[in-house]
Structure 1
Amino acid sequence: MAENYTDPSGNTAQFRAFVDSPEPAASAPAPSRLPLIAGVAVAAVVVVALVAWIALG
């Protein structure tokens, strides 16, 4: 840890600047899970079709 670290709660002005600063993680939207779900569904259909083809063949 750096030796010149100053606690943001050290005085009122620093604390208010710390509280009012936006969080970088909160502004990023979550990625869509639709492609993952569609890929798993297609893979499941292919596996079921392959098993049925082998069982009936």
Structure 2
Amino acid sequence: MSNPEIDPTRNTQEFRAFVRKGDQEPEPAKRSPLLIGGAAVAVLVAVVVVIYLLL
């Protein structure tokens, strides 16, 4: 037979542990505008060099 007594503090502690665990998840990395700008400049330079070499 199961124990009819329910310990409410146990459920509270489990819930608090669950909430704390959720706070520790790292945020996904966001792309820096500087990184995107640098990639755009690199592509532009590569295009200019290719055009220069073809002429």
TM-score range, shorter chain: 0.5 to 0.7
Query: Matched residues, percent identical?
Result: 29
* RMSD across aligned positions (CA): 2.4
Instruction: Give the whole-Å Cα distance in 2 for the aligned partners of 1:12 and 1:44.
Output: 56
Gaps of 5+ in 2: 1-9
Instruction: Report deviation, 1:35.
Output: 1.5
The structure with the greater share of residues assigned to helix is: 2
Structure 2 length-normalised TM: 0.56
Gaps of 5+ in 1: 1-10
In the comparison of the two structures, how many residue pairs are matched?
Answer: 45
Which residues in structure 2 correspond to 1:1-57 (within 5 Å)?
Answer: 11-21=10-20, 23-25=23-25, 30-56=29-55
